[in-house]
Amino acid sequence: MSYLIIPKGYRSLLTPEETEHGIKLLKDYFQQSLAKALKLRRVTAPLFVLQGQGINDDLNGVERAVTFPIKDLGDKRAEVVHSLAKWKRMSLADYKIRPGHGIYTDMNAIRADENLGNLHSLYVDQWDWERTITAANRNLGFLKRCVKQIYSAMLDTEEFICTCYPQLRPFLSRSIHFIHSEELLRMYPEMSAKEREDAACRKWGSVFIIGIGMPLSDGNPHDLRAPDYDDWSTPNEDGFAGLNGDLLVWNPVLGRAFEVSSMGIRVDAPAMHRQLELCGKTEREELYFHRQLLAGKLPLSMGGGIGQSRLCMLFLQKAHIGEIQASIWPEEQRKACLRAGIKLI
């Protein structure tokens, strides 16, 4: 229950019927805007991959994947994807996607170790995207330009959905503020990382926090990040490490920072080797994905994930992600939401 926020006086601005229709409108509009902005084409993605190949994303490096045996493969085990960070990069190579273009897909996952609450569910759905880049694009300026394009698609989508449902009012800031996680730490040294995110979004509205994964001056990373997809250790033009980050906005319904997307320029071979060494996981270099990357068989890329239910929750101004998607919740949480007028699907 510590992960549940009950907004005082909350009531849904949309009926259940309007909500279901709004989800469809919003998803269709945003993915078209995203694809146009980043020059992406849609591809079909797997729900599960074979275990032991290094293809699945292990997120922060500690979450357990849901696994099952496959009878016709001699009980080899498959695991439900956490995200498609590595699979997408392999797909860029398979499809021979040229620089400046990319792919996106509907990613569906089960994350059994999530702390269930307003923002986190066992079921995860997001637009996973990946774009081929050149060596000249591996810099902070290029990352920022892509973030601005994504944020512009978000602003267009907000305007669209508020036109469809006039009872909804726009709230996003007109621009996004960029700040490195080390700068944020120096601004608010007494706060936890999540408290710093709240403070930043309260101050600027929408924020892209750069450099997620590398330990900061206090010895701790802003947040954990696996060592073998985002590049969080390469020095950038701002004098800090990191070519990745998280996009957060102020959520007026919950009164807190709200993460919409995690994204970044992906590791090249030197960065991956360095980060695996830093994390004490160099044995991963023997896995299939890692061998492909080290052998130069995968293109340089950048990519990320944008939560589908998260974005719908934000723009339809809901208090709980369970108002957008069907999932399983602790009984005590269901009862608390019911008492507060939060109708979980």
pLDDT of the residue at 113: 86
Concatenated DSSP letters of 221-285: -SS---TTSB--SSB-TTSSB-SEEEEEEEETTTTEEEEEEEEEEBP-HHHHHHHHHHTT-GGGG
Selecting among 181, 206, 262, 308, the annotated active-site residue is 262
Strand-strand pairing, 177-180 and 206-210: parallel
Tell me which residue has tokens 């909804």: 168
Query: Residue 227 belongs to what domain range?
Result: 16-339
| Residue range 168-183, pLDDT digits in tens | 999 999 999 999 999 9
Radius of gyration of the chain (CA): 20
Selecting among 12, 33, 89, 111, the annotated active-site residue is 111
Residue at 290 is within a domain: yes
Active site residue 218: no
CA distance 258 to 310: 9
Active site residue 308: no
As a residue count, the chain comes to: 345
Active site residue 75: no
* Average confidence (pLDDT) over 110-130: 93
Residue at 5 is within a domain: no
- The percentage of the chain sitting over the pLDDT mark of 70, rounded to a whole number, equals 98
Q: What is the mean pLDDT of the chain?
A: 95
Residue at 113 is within a domain: yes
Residue at 6 is within a domain: no
pLDDT of the residue at 52: 84
pLDDT of the residue at 59: 59
pLDDT of the residue at 64: 82
Q: Into how many domains does the chain fold?
A: 1
Burial pattern 175-203, b for ≥16 Cβ within 10 A else e, equals ebebbbbbbbbeeeeeeebeebbbbbbee
Q: Which strands make up the sheet holding 67-70, listed edge to edge?
A: 48-50, 76-80, 67-70
pLDDT of the residue at 83: 79
Active site residue 17: no
Residue at 2 is within a domain: no
Beta carbons within 8 Å of 332's beta carbon, 6+ residues apart: 1
Selecting among 246, 268, 285, 323, the annotated active-site residue is 246
Active site residue 111: yes
| Residue range 291-339, pLDDT digits in tens | 999 999 999 999 999 999 999 999 999 999 999 999 999 999 999 999 9
Contact 232, 264 (CB under 8 A): yes
Residue at 287 is within a domain: yes
Residue at 265 is within a domain: yes
Selecting among 238, 259, 274, 334, the annotated active-site residue is 259
Question: Among 311, 302, 259, 310, which residue's Cα sits nearest to residue 129?
Answer: 302
pLDDT of the residue at 198: 98
The alpha carbon of 244 is separated from its chain's Cα centroid by a whole number of angstroms, namely 11
pLDDT of the residue at 201: 98
Paired with 71 in beta bridges are none
Neighbours of 295 (CB within 10 A): 9
DSSP 191: S
Selecting among 33, 83, 126, 333, the annotated active-site residue is 126
Tell me which residue has tokens 């702390």: 115
- The percentage of the chain sitting over the pLDDT mark of 90, rounded to a whole number, equals 90
Residue at 4 is within a domain: no
CA distance 305 to 321: 17
pLDDT of the residue at 58: 65
Contact 126, 305 (CB under 8 A): yes
Which CATH number is 141's domain given? Answer: 3.30.930.10
CA distance 5 to 85: 30
Selecting among 57, 130, 197, 268, the annotated active-site residue is 57
Active site residue 259: yes
